Amino acid sequence: MTNTAENANLCGLNRKDFQTTINGKKTDLYILRNRKGYEVAISNYGGAICAIMVPDKDGNVANVVQGFDSIQALMETDEIYRSTLIGRYGNRICKGRFTLNGKDYQLATNDGPNHLHGGNKGYNLRVWDARQMGPRSLALNYTSPYGEEGFSGEVKVTVEFTFTDENELVIEYLATTNKKTIICLTHHAFFSLAGIANPTPTIEDQICQINADFYLPIDNTSIPTGEVLKVEGTPFDFRTPKAFGKDIDADNEQIKNGSGYDHNYVLNKREEGELSYAAKVTEPVSGRSLEVYTTEPGVQLYTANFCSGKVGQHGATFPRRSAVCLECQHFPDSPNRPYFPSVVLRPNEQYKQKTIYKFSVER
């Protein structure tokens, strides 16, 4: 990894490799650096997090997020959601259909029979307007026009990333609309706490805890059945810490439906919208840990069950189950489940959520 004046950063990424023009909008790479010298690298193409450089228990710094090393790699990958911003609707909507204000909407069915992550060209494939606000903060803005991907309303979205001196990546989302619509934003970061490599190690020995007594079971197309079930006595019980690998291949219908973990957890909350502890993952060899806090009612646990070893940044490869995603969000298929927390956004209202990913070391 060479460090030149143009490329003096821990992640070894060169801004020039991320600079091009797409439909008249310029892409770039933005480095957030805290006072400890650690870094987060973000592209305004899809809000992709390309690197999170944090230390292990011995002080060795590695990239703990699966990313790409050029704008071409980002644009040409067929794993288009890897470590990007997701919208207008994160996760799945059954058959792409919902009714709002008495009107039926039909969205793209881009995941088998269902709608996934905003459609054929969601927020992950858009060039956002970027403004770096000092060394530790970046604001991304995008105006989603009326009718984009079949959704109603023009939606103006701002996502702010801040990397604190405590190695917390804080993501704050704001959105407004001029017409009643639905919205569910999240970030689909693929975390590999051992550090990306060739091949990136499996997450099966990593220890996870999730602050949830209930989860949402799914059918064989990954749509919630509508039930809200206790985790107790199931492979989905992470109330006390355990390794992902303990039950990830259990003889269980829900595990088989997700090919592992790909389920939404109902987070324990004292009140709606409070910023509270959601989950923790620890990598036992490096000692790195990740704590998650969010205002959202749910977190989607995904253990990269469908990844296939594609090449990413600096020649790293990303095999099956080499990452964990903890996508803080509202529940899948909420527009069709009126008893789920509402995803409706009205004019004169503000969509607002906050998620914190805190990296630390356990010795």
Cite the DSSP H helix spans in 243-339.
253-258
Residue in 356, 361, 327 with CA at minimum distance from that of residue 40: 356
Out of 187, 188, 263, 330, which one is annotated catalytic? 188
HSE at residue 310, side-chain half, CA atoms within 13 A, is 17
Q: Rounded distance, CA 222 to CA 124, Å?
A: 21
Q: Rounded distance, CA 43 to CA 128, Å?
A: 9
- The torsion of the CA quartet 267, 283, 184, 236, rounded to 10 degrees, works out to -40
Phi-psi region of 46 (alpha: psi -120 to 50; beta: other; left: phi over 0): left
Q: Rounded distance, CA 280 to CA 284, Å?
A: 13
360 Cβ partners below 8 Å, 6+ apart? 167, 288, 289, 291
Out of 39, 291, 296, 327, which one is annotated catalytic? 327
In angstroms, what is the C-alpha Rg of the chain? 19
Cite the DSSP H helix spans in 6-136.
71-76
* 314 part of the active site: no
Residue in 323, 45, 87 with CA at minimum distance from that of residue 185: 87
Are 262 and 302 contacting, i.e. CB atoms less than 8 angstroms apart? Answer: yes
Q: How many residues does the structure list for the chain?
A: 363
Q: How far is CA 295 from CA 275, 289, 298, 328, in A?
A: 4, 20, 9, 8
Phi-psi region of 229 (alpha: psi -120 to 50; beta: other; left: phi over 0): beta
Burial environment of residue 101 by CB neighbours within 10 A (0 to 12, 13 to 18, 19 or more): exposed
* 263 part of the active site: no
Residues labelled as active-site residues: 188, 327
